[in-house]
C-alpha cells in the first residue's frame, strides 16, 4: 500500500541504550549468553516517523506464533508502532485504532499468515477476555500484536516481546520504548531487531 511503502522507506535514527544485555555479556565466567535470558533494550524515538520506522523493522521479522505486547498510557504511540509493524509485515489491510472492535485481523499477499491486532483497552474485566478466543488465536498461523497487553497479562504466552511506551517530559515529540524479551522467540526477535536497527 502506498502509505505503508512511504513509512517503510523513511530513513530515521534515534537514541539507543542497552541495559541488561551488557550485564550478561560481561559475565563470561558463568557462560550466560543464553537465549532464555531476559534481555531489555531502551530506544528513544524523537518523532512519530521514528516510532513507525522501528515498528516497520520489527514487522519484517515476524513469524507465526510471535507475540508483541504493547503497554503504556493513551497517546504514547502504541497504535503508531502497530501501524509500522503491519507495514513492515506487508499487510494489505490498514491498521486503525479499534474503537469497539477488539481484534482486527490483517492479511498479506505473500502467504496465509495472519497478523492479529488486539486492543484490550475496553476490556473491563479479565473474564471478558475469554470472549476474544485468545487460545485459538495464539494457536493459529498468526503473529499477534496486543495494545494494553497488561490488562490481559495472565492470559498471554510466556514467550513474547514486551514493549513499554512512555512520554518523555522535556520533548513532546519523543517517546521512550523499552523492549523486554521473554523466551526463545521473544529473545530472537529483539536480537534481530537490534541488529537490523544498528545496521
Ligand atoms: N515519537 C512519537 N511516537 C509516536 N507518536 C508520537 C510521537 N510524537 C508524537 N506522537 C503523537 O502521539 C500520538 C500517539 O497516538 P497513538 O499511536 O494512537 O497512541 P496509543 O495507541 O498509545 O494511544 C499521535 O497523535 C502521534 O502523532
Ligand atoms: Mg492505541
Residue 195 Cα to ligand 2 midpoint, Å, equals 27
Summarize pLDDT for 150-198 with one digit per residue, the tens: 999 999 999 999 999 999 999 999 999 999 999 999 999 999 999 987 7
* Range from 28-37, 133-142, 147-156 carrying the lowest mean pLDDT: 28-37
**What's the pLDDT tens digit per position in 61-114?**
999 999 999 999 999 999 999 999 999 999 999 888 766 668 899 999 999 999
Structural domain of residue 115, as residue ranges? 2-198
Q: Which residue has the cell 542497552?
A: 18
Residue 177 is part of a domain; what is its CATH number?
3.40.50.300
What distance in angstroms lies between residue 74's CA and the mean position of ligand 2's atoms?
7
Instruction: Supply the pTM of this predicted model.
Output: 0.84
Helix, coil or strand: residue 192: helix
Residue 148 CA to ligand 1 center (angstroms) comes to 14
Distance CA 156, CA 171 (A): 33
Give me the residues near ligand 2 (ion), CB cutoff below 5 Å: 78-79, 97, 147
Closest ligand to C-alpha of residue 98 is: 2
C-alpha span between 150 and 148 (Å, rounded): 5
CA dist., res. 28 & res. 77, Å (int): 37
More confident residue, 152 or 15: 152
Distance CA 182, CA 40 (A): 9
Q: What is the pLDDT of residue 157?
A: 95
The residue whose CA has the least distance to atom 12 of ligand 1 is 75
* Residue-level pLDDT at 99: 62
Our count of domains for the chain comes to: 1
165 C-alpha vs ligand 1 centroid, how far in Å? 10
Show the ligand 1 pocket: residues with CB < 6 angstroms.
45, 47-48, 50-51, 72, 74-80, 97, 147, 165, 173-175
Question: Would strands 160-168 and 171-182 be described as parallel, antiparallel, or unpaired?
Answer: antiparallel
* Whole-number pLDDT of residue 100: 64
Amino acid at each position: 500500500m502506498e502509505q505503508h511503502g512511504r513509512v517503510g522507506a523513511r530513513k530515521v535514527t534515534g537514541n539507543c541504550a542497552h541495559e541488561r544485555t551488557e550485564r550478561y555479556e560481561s559475565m563470561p565466567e558463568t557462560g550466560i549468553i543464553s537465549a532464555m535470558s531476559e534481555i531489555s533494550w531502551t530506544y528513544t524515538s524523537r518523532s512519530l516517523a521514528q516510532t513507525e520506522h522501528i515498528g516497520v523493522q520489527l514487522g519484517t521479522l515476524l513469524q507465526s506464533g510471535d507475540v508483541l505486547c504493547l503497554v503504556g498510557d493513551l497517546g504514547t504511540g502504541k497504535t503508531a508502532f502497530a501501524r509500522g509493524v503491519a507495514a513492515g509485515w506487508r499487510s494489505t489491510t490498514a491498521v486503525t485504532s479499534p474503537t469497539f472492535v477488539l481484534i482486527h485481523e490483517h492479511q498479506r499477499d505473500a502467504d496465509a499468515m495472519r497478523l492479529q491486532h488486539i486492543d484490550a483497552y475496553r476490556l473491563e474485566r479479565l473474564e471478558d477476555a475469554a470472549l476474544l478466543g485468545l487460545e485459538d488465536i495464539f494457536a493459529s498461523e498468526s503473529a499477534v500484536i496486543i495494545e494494553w497487553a497488561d490488562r490481559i497479562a495472565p492470559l498471554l504466552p510466556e514467550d513474547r516481546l514486551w514493549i513499554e511506551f512512555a512520554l518523555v517530559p522535556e520533548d513532546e515529540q519523543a517517546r521512550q520504548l523499552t523492549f523486554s524479551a521473554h523466551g526463545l522467540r521473544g529473545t530472537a526477535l529483539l536480537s534481530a531487531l537490534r541488529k537490523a536497527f544498528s545496521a
